[in-house]
């Protein structure tokens, strides 16, 4: 097994290689505006660090969000391109699940990432491997009471301490954790492997760009 994992659903542009036993190379940079510039050099870097080439991969792991449209699609399109070129499968995982897995918390908690517009993407967990329900997007004040008393992992907790006073690490997504979670699921087979998502974007809300109302057509008929 050799998995290439990537996630661009958050400000972190993060890539890792996992051989089925452990992470053999990793790269993470936090820059919300340069996903497209940073991702492929990061992939090249982890392959060089491990002394491997793309044709050694047996699968791609990609975070499907939730996340903003522009950043999220960079990772998903890149994963799809590698899959097509190499003839290997793409395994989608919820980005929040990667943060939960990296936390190692074995009690009820939540994960919250920055959704902009003064909102967070969030989900509840029974432990670091078990999500309760689907991911959602809400204003912190609207969910503070529902998450009262729970630790909250991720950048969302750091941004809104009044709503989430018990902020926990990690703050940012790690492809290393995403790869380890995927390797664990694949090794388990059966129901574990069935826990993957289709590699399609999880947006949770409509895009910012909208066709203006009362749009006036100026082209000739």
Cis status, amide bond into 170, omega within 30 of 0: yes
Q: Is a pLDDT exceeding 80 seen at residue 65?
A: yes
Q: What is the pLDDT of residue 43?
A: 98
Q: pLDDT averaged over the chain?
A: 93
CB 151 within 8 A of CB 109: yes
**The pLDDT of residue 211:** 54
> CA-CA distance, 6 to 60, in Å (whole number)?
8
d(CA 70, CA 145): 31
Residue 219 in this model has a pLDDT that exceeds 90: no
Whole-number pLDDT of residue 218:
59
Please, which residues have CB within 8 angstroms of residue 2's CB and are 6 or more apart in sequence? 17, 18, 19, 20, 52, 56, 57, 58, 59
Angle ∠(111,112,116) on CA atoms, nearest 5: 165
Tokens at 55, concatenated: 């044709």
pLDDT (mean) for 79-104: 97
Please state whether the predicted TM-score (pTM) of the whole model is above 0.85.
yes
- At 47, the pLDDT band (50, 70, 90 cuts) reads very high
Residue with tokens 């689907």: 134
What's residue 200's pLDDT?
A: 95
Distance CA 85, CA 210 (A): 34
């Amino acid at each position: 097994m050799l998995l290439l994992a990537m996630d661009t659903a958050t400000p972190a542009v993060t890539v890792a290689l996992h051989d089925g036993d452990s992470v053999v190379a990793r790269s993470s940079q936090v820059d919300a505006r340069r996903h497209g510039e940073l991702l492929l050099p990061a992939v090249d870097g982890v392959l060089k660090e491990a002394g491997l080439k793309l044709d050694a991969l047996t699968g791609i792991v990609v975070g499907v969000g939730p996340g903003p449209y522009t950043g999220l699609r960079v990772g998903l399109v890149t994963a799809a391109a590698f899959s097509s070129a190499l003839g290997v499968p793409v395994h989608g995982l919820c980005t929040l699940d990667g943060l939960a897995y990296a936390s190692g918390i074995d009690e009820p908690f939540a994960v919250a990432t920055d959704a902009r517009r003064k909102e967070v993407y969030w989900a509840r967990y029974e432990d670091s491997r078990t999500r309760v329900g689907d991911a959602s997007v809400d204003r912190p004040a609207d969910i503070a009471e529902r998450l009262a008393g729970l630790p909250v992992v991720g950048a969302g907790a750091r941004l809104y301490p009044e709503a989430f006073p018990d902020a926990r690490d990690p703050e940012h997504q790690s492809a290393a954790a995403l790869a380890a979670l995927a390797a664990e699921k694949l090794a388990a087979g059966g129901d574990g492997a069935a826990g993957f998502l289709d590699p399609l974007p999880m947006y949770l809300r409509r895009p910012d760009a909208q066709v203006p109302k009362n749009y006036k057509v100026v082209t000739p008929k």
